[in-house]
């Protein structure tokens, strides 16, 4: 079961936001965040907002020593739950996982799958 609580939230004038989550998965807790963007191999630089979300996630996760960081690309709303489960399963307690979402609908699906309280 996946359950998340907001650790940090930043709102923007255009209605967008950045959230950093403390996510419970299996018997451990991880830091997670998500933004619209594509992996580095796509030759598309991350947007400023995605870069801010990644930096906020890493800043929150730095409170725990020995954590690792990974990025997972989520291609579609239909792939959200599987992609999240795979990325979280490959992580361990205290790790940081950043989900790059292909578009707004995928970002919404990731938010729903992370079950934010």
* Residue at 49 is within a domain: yes
Give pLDDT tens digits for 80-109: 999 999 999 999 888 999 999 999 999 999
* Parent domain of 101: 30-113
What's the length of the chain?
Answer: 117
Backbone angles phi, psi at 31, to 5 degrees: -100, 135
Percent of the chain with pLDDT over 70: 95
* Residue at 19 is within a domain: no
* Residue at 3 is within a domain: no
First vs last C-alpha separation in the chain: 13
Number of structural domains found in the chain: 1
* Residue at 101 is within a domain: yes
Give pLDDT tens digits for 59-84: 988 876 667 999 999 999 999 999 99
């Amino acid at each position: 079961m996946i359950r998340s609580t907001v650790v940090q939230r930043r709102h923007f004038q255009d209605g967008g936001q950045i959230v950093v989550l403390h996510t419970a998965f299996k018997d451990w807790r991880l830091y997670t965040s998500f933004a619209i963007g594509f992996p580095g191999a796509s030759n598309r630089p991350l947007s400023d907002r995605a870069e801010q979300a990644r930096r906020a996630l890493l800043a929150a996760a730095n409170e725990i020593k020995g954590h690792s960081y990974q990025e997972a690309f989520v291609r579609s709303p239909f792939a959200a739950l599987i992609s999240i489960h795979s990325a979280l399963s490959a992580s361990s307690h205290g790790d940081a996982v950043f989900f790059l979402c292909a578009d707004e609908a995928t970002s919404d699906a990731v938010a729903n799958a992370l079950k934010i309280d």
